[in-house]
Amino acid sequence: MAIEYRRLTENELDIFISMRIKQLREEGAKEDIDLYPFLKDYYKRHLADGTFVSWLAFDGKKIVGTSGMSFVEKPPYFSCPSGKIGLLSSMFTDPSYRRRGIAKELLDKVISEARAYGCGTVQITASDMGVKLYSAYGFERNENFMQYKL
């Protein structure tokens, strides 16, 4: 069956969230909290105001791949004069569907969304598995990124 690509709607939110949690666990998250209500709140608010977009890959009725892009804005800087940034997340492909170009197609779709939104850059914290995909796509490492956990 051919893979079909569609934008995330609230109808698919529950399965999208369960796949996001599965992705985070696969990437090594060990925290023992129920993340579901926090994700549900986030996605409902940001889908509604247009600051989050996601494309899904379907094999029939089964979701086999996900993507996500959050849009944020900060003061303009030289390499991003618009100040608009796309934060790529939720890139996940069902293990039995990997190496078929699904992730690249999903990436194309959310990058197009970021362009349409006016983003000057897209950022991601990539998993070890994702680095090859993002490097091949043209992403470059930025060694200046630091994080302070509150």
Q: Residue 60 carries which DSSP code?
A: T
How many CB atoms within 10 Å of residue 45? 11
56-92 pLDDT, tens digit per residue, is 999 999 999 999 999 999 999 998 899 999 999 999 9
pLDDT score, position 150: 73
β-strands 55-59, 52-53: how paired?
A: unpaired
pLDDT-based confidence at residue 130 (cuts at 50, 70, 90): confident
Q: Which of 28-42, 97-111, 131-145 has the lowest mean pLDDT?
A: 131-145
- What is the Cα–Cα distance from 94 to 63, expressed in whole angstroms? 8
Question: Which residues make Cβ contacts (< 8 Å) with residue 41, sequence separation at least 6?
Answer: none
pLDDT score, position 146: 67
Tell me: pLDDT of 145 over 90: no
pLDDT score, position 29: 87
Tell me: pLDDT of 1 over 70: no
Tell me: pLDDT of 148 over 80: no
